[in-house]
Structure 1
C-alpha cells in the first residue's frame, strides 16, 4: 500500500520564494511537527512493542526491546559524562549494536560521528579532531586495534535492560556528522540534523515502505545511504535486516535477501549495474529498489524491468549536504529510451536551475542545481568559509546548497543530469575529490607531481587512475605507491592503477 502523502507539484513561475523567472519544483509535505529520530522509533514501540525491529543473523530485537536497550545505554553514557551537544564517534562493525548505539547517543543528547573500522588510523584521527569528538564508543576489539589517542568507551556485549529516563533529542540538533571527500586533502564533516532525516524517511511517497517490509542494511554506516536503510525502516514500523557479512559478494547479498525475506533495498548505481548484468535473483525477492550515487544506465534499467516487471525501481539523487536524497524518479520502461532522469524534489526539498550568479536559466537550458527547503545540512564542521561558499543565502529563494551538478528541466518538469562543473567524480557510489588523492601522492618524498582521473574505457564500471611524475632520484614502483596510499586513504580513494609519466 502506497502511503497517502502529497505528490510533488510543479510550482514553476509562481513559487513566492523562487527567484524571479526561475523554473523550480517543490514538494508540499503533509503538515506534521518536526521530530527527532528516536521519537519516531519510540512511537512504534508504544503502538507495536512486539513487532520485529532489527534482525542481525540469529539475533532479533523487537521495537520494545530496541527502545529499552537504547534508553538503558543512553543512561550509561550519561554516567560517563556524555552531555547534550557532545560529539561522540562510533566505531563498530555493521550490526544490531550499531542501531542501539546510535539511538543511545541521541537520547544522551550527543551527535553521532560514524567511523569506518577499515580506514587508516591517520584519517580516523583527523576526522575525530575535525569533528571535535569528546569520546569514541564502539566494539572493544576495534577500539583496542585502533589505539586512538582520545578517550574511548567499549559498548556492552549484550543489550542493557534498565536505565533512567532520557531526554528527547531536538529535531534541529545534528544527528550525524558524516565525512565526504575534501579537495584540500582532508575529508570534510557534514552536520545533518534529526528533522531533515525524519522528514526524508517518514511515510515517503517516492518509494513504497510499510510496516510489513524488511529493509536491507548493507551500506557502511559512514555512507549516507545507511540513514535510509536503517531509519527509513524504523520510522515506518518496518524491520532492519543487517547484512552480517562486512564486505558481501553478490552471492552473499542474494543469500541474505532470500534467507531473511528482504523486500526493500538500496544499491549504489555501480552495484545495481553489476546485479543487472547478471540478472541476479535478488530482484526476484525484492519489491522496491532505490538506486543512487551515479548516473543510472538505461540499458541495465530496461533489463531489470523487463525481467522483473513488478519491481518498483527508484532513481534517487542527492548529496550528503541535502540529506541522502533530494530528488527521486520511479523508473519505467518508457524512461529507458533516453537518459534516466533524476526526477523531482521530494520530502520538503526545492530545486532551482540557476547560473553561476544565482539567476535562473531559460526553460530547458542547462544550469547548476541549487537545492533548498527544509532538509539542508547545517554546514561543514569547523569550516565556516566553505559553508558560506556552498550554503548560500539567496535573496529570493532563501538558503540554498550549490551542488556543482549540471542539470536541465525536461518539458514534463523532471530533472536530467548532465555532469559536474568541477573535478568531483563518483566512483562505485562514493563521492571523490581527485585533489584529495593528488595531495596524498604529492606528500610522498619520491613524487614530484600527480594527477588523478576516471577511466571509463574497456571496463563496465569507472576506475580511478593516477598519473605520477617522479621526483629526482630512484623511481618509485607504482605498486609501492598504491600500497603507501592504503596507509593514509580509505580503500575507495586508492587508485585502481598508477602510471608513471615524464610530465603532466
Structure 2
C-alpha cells in the first residue's frame, strides 16, 4: 500500500461535512425548531425536545449554584432512565465533563474510576449514592418539580471540551479513562451516512451508561431529532427487549455481537420490528448475519468496529448476503475517521497484506485521564500521517478499500462486547495472598459462547478454593471481568520464549464437565437441567448444580430464561434467576409460576401449601 492515500469513506474524500459542535447545542436546535417532537420515552414518561431542554437547563442552573463549573469532571451514578439523559445534558450545559458510573460495579472499581478520572463530585440518585458509599463529595439530584426556572450562564461546551470519560480494561490492573470530546461525538452521530437515523426514528437505549455503545444509542437519536426509547429494566431478557421495541415502535437498535448472535440464533421477533440493526464489539459470525438478512430482508444490518479511543465506531459496513460467503468485513472508516495499515516499521504495508490498524482523524479521544505516558504510547504523532491511535488489531484491505479483521497483535480479547485485558484480571489474582501466579484466557464451549477461564498457581500453604477466589474477585472487579471458571494448576505452560502459552492454557480447560448425580432429579428439575445443559455445553444432573459455578454468565442467563419460556411457558426474570441460581431453585420458581397461572385460569382449583 505504498504511496496510497489513507482509507477514507468515498463520500468524505474532500472534507468532513458535519459541523463540529457541543452536544447541548444540537439538542437546543431541535428544541427550537421542533419543540413538540418526542425526544425521550421512559416507560410511561415522555419528554418532548422543549421539555428535555427545559429540564436540563433547570438542572444545570442548580448544579451551577452547587459549584459545578466549566472544566470540572463530575461522576454520574443513576439507573438507566430518562433522568439519566437529562442529567448528562445538564452537566454539559454547565461546561463539566460526565464520568458515567455503573451501580453494578464493586466499590473498589468505582473508587479507582473516580480517582483516575479526577472527578471532584459524584451526582445522581440519592439511594444509589448512599448504597455505593462513593468517596469524596456527593450530591443527590432533585426531581424537576423541585427546580425553579433559571438562566444557565455561559454558552455551554465547545467541540474540544471533554464530554465523557469512558473506562476500558487496563493491563496494569487498573481501568483506563478515555477522555472523549464533544466534537467527536457530534461528528459520529450528526446526519450519519453509515446508518439510517432520521427525525421519524426511535432508537433503543439498553446499554449501561459506562459502555460506549450507549453514546450511539442516545446521541444518534437526539442529534437528528429522533427519539430515545429507554429500557429501564436493569437486565432485560430477550422478551423484555422485544416488548420494549414493540411497545414504543423502536426502529433502530444497537446490539453487542454476542447478544446479536443469540437473538439471531432464535430468529427473535425483535428483528421483525426493527428497520436498522447496528452490531459491534467482536467479529460478526457470517451464519448469523445471513440468517437475519434472509429471514428479515428489510433489515439494514451494519457491522461496526472501533475502540473507545476512536469514539465508539471507526469503521462500518452495511452487510449483504454476499458478504456472508466469508468472514464479514469491518468496512471503511466513516464520520471523519481515517485508517492506516502499517507494518512493524510504521510504514504502509503492500496492497492486500496484513498489518496493524492505526486510526486517525478528528474523532480521536484526547487521551487517557491522568496517564500521560500511556497516552503518548498509544496516541502517536506519526511524521507523515498525523496523530494516530494504535489499535493492536490486525487487518487487511481489499482492492476497494474495505477492511477485513484478522485478530489481535497482543493478548487483549473481546468477550460479550467488552474489551478485556487479561492482565487486569491476572493482576487482581496475583494480589491474593494464596496465589503465586495467574493467567487468563478465553474458552469457547460453543461457537456462540465465549467465557473467561482463569488458571492460578497456588502460593506455598493451603491450596485456595476456586469458588473462594472467584468470590474475592467479585468484590474487586465488574461482573464482565470475573472469570466464569477457575482452575488451580501446578504451573503455567510456557512457550519456548518463556511467555505464557495461551493456546496450551485453552487445552487445559476441559471442553465439557459432567457433574455426577447426588440424587435423582424430579421431572421438572430434569426439564430445567436439559435447558441448562444445552446452554452451558455440559451435562447437568444434580439438583444443587449452580449456574455460575458451571460457567454461566449474564448473557447465558438470557438464553436459559428464553428457553424456559419457550419450553415450559414460564417467564423467569433475571433478578429471580440469580436469586436462586440452582437447578432446584429454578425448578421451584417454574413450579410456582405454573401453579399461579393454573390458579388464574381455574380460580376454584386447590392452592399449594404456601397458599399460592
TM-score range normalised by the length of the shorter chain: over 0.9
Comparing 277-286 with 25-34, greater Cα deviation is found at 25-34
Alignment RMSD (CA, Å): 1.1
Shift of 1:24: 2.4
Distance in 1 between the 2:343 and 2:124 partners?
45
Q: Which runs of 5+ in 2 are unaligned?
A: 493-612
Asked if the contact 1:172–1:193 (Cα under 8 Å) also holds between the matched residues in 2, the reply is yes
Residue 609 of structure 2 corresponds to none
**SS where residue 469 of structure 1 aligns?**
strand
User: C-alpha distance in 2, partners of 1:379/1:68?
Assistant: 33
Q: What corresponds to 2:229 in structure 1?
A: 241
Q: Residues 411 and 161 of structure 1: is their aligned pair in 2 closer, same or farther, counting only changes over 3 Å?
A: farther
Query: In the alignment, is the contact (CA less than 8 A) between 1:23 and 1:363 conserved in 2?
Result: no
Equivalent position of 1:127 in the other structure: 113
User: Within 2, Cα distance between the matches of 1:500 and 1:23?
Assistant: 51
In the alignment, the residues of structure 2 paired with residue 31 and residue 438 of structure 1 have an alpha-carbon distance, to the nearest angstrom, of: 45
Q: Is the 8 A contact 2:19 2:187 kept in 1?
A: no
Could you tell me how far apart the structure 1 residues matched to 2:324 and 2:270 are?
21
Q: Which residue of the partner structure matches residue 58 of structure 1? A: 44
**Cα deviation, residue 149, structure 1:** 2.0
Is the contact between residue 392 and residue 401 of structure 1 (CA under 8 Å) also seen in structure 2?
yes
Counterpart secondary structure, 2:159: coil
Deviation at 1:461, TM superposition (A): 1.6
Q: 1:265 — aligned with what? A: 253
Please say if residues 69 and 161 of structure 1, whose CA atoms lie closer than 8 Å, have aligned partners that are also in contact: no
Contact 1:22 1:352 in 2 (8 A): no
Tell me which moved more, 221-230 or 167-176.
Answer: 167-176
Seen in structure 2, the aligned counterparts of structure 1 residues 161 and 25 have a Cα distance that, compared at 3 Å, is farther
Higher CA-based Rg: 2
State the Cα deviation string for residues 188-227 of structure 1 (Å, max 9, x = none): 1000000000000000000000000000000001000100
The residue that corresponds to 1:305 in the other structure is: 293
- Quick one: which of 231, 236, 258 aligns to 2:219? 231
2:302 paired residue number: 314
2:401 and 2:17 mapped to 1: Cα distance? Answer: 24
Counterpart CA distance in 1 for 2:192 and 2:60 is 29
Match runs of 1:272-311 below 5 Å: 272-311=260-299
Q: What residue number does 1:82 align with?
A: 68
How far apart, in 2, do the equivalents of 1:446 and 1:217 lie? 42
Task: Report matched runs for 1:23-172 at 5 Å.
Answer: 24-27=6-9, 28=12, 30-158=16-144, 160=147, 162-167=149-154, 168-172=156-160
Q: Give the one of 438, 445, 448 matched to 1:460.
A: 448
* 2:361 counterpart of 1:373: yes
Q: Displacement of 1:32 after TM fit? A: 4.4
| Partner in structure 2 of residue 402 of structure 1 | 390
**Aligned 1:386-425 pairs, distance under 5 A:** 386-425=374-413
User: Which is worse superposed, 474-483 or 52-61?
Assistant: 474-483
> Residues 108 and 98 from structure 1, CA distance in 2 versus in 1: closer, same or farther, beyond 3 angstroms?
same
CA contact (8 A) 2:94 2:152 kept: no
Question: How do residues 435-454 of structure 1 correspond to structure 2 at under 5 angstroms?
Answer: 435-454=423-442
Task: Classify the secondary structure of the residue corresponding to 1:457.
Answer: strand
Tell me if the contact between 1:438 and 1:452 (Cα under 8 Å) persists in the aligned partners.
Answer: yes
Aligned to 1:16: none
Q: Distance in 1 between matches of 2:272 and 2:243?
A: 12
From the two aligned structures, give the one with the greater strand fraction: 1
SS in 1 for 2:163: strand
Q: Which residue of 2 aligns with 1:9?
A: none
Equivalent pairs, count: 486
Tell me, in whole angstroms, the C-alpha distance in 2 between the residues paired with 1:161 and 1:217.
29
Instruction: Report how far residue 356 of structure 1 moved.
Output: 2.2
Using the alignment, how far apart are the partners of 1:166 and 1:215 within structure 2? Answer: 31
SS in structure 2 of the partner of residue 462 of structure 1: strand
Stretches of structure 1 lacking an aligned partner (at least 5 in a row): 1-12, 14-19
Any conservation in 2 of the 1:253–1:282 contact (CA below 8 Å)?
Answer: yes
Please state if 1:177 is matched with 2:165. Answer: yes
Q: CA deviation at 1:30?
A: 5.0
Q: CA deviation digits over 1:19-63, x for unaligned, max 9?
A: x62452124255343211000010000001010000001010000
Q: CA deviation at 1:434?
A: 0.1
SS in 2 for 1:39: helix
Q: In the alignment, is the contact (CA less than 8 A) between 2:16 and 2:336 conserved in 1?
A: no
* Residue pairs, 1:201-216, within 5 angstroms: 201-216=189-204
Alpha-carbon separation, structure 2, partners of 1:95 and 1:223: 15
Deviation at 1:161, TM superposition (A): 5.3
After superposition, what is the alpha-carbon deviation per residue over 1:341-370, rounded to whole angstroms, capped at 9, x for unaligned? 000010001000001221010010000000
The residue aligned with 2:470 is 482
Instruction: Summarize deviations over 1:454-479 as a string: whole Å, max 9, x none.
Output: 01233522110001111111111111
SS at match of 2:449: coil
Relative contact order higher in (CA < 8 Å, ≥ 6 apart)? 1
Taking structure 2 as the reference length, the TM-score comes to 0.78
Q: Distance in 1 between matches of 2:93 and 2:372?
A: 28
Partner of 2:321: 333
* SS of alignment partner, residue 26 of structure 1: coil
Partner Cα separation in structure 2 for residue 161 and residue 345 of structure 1: 45
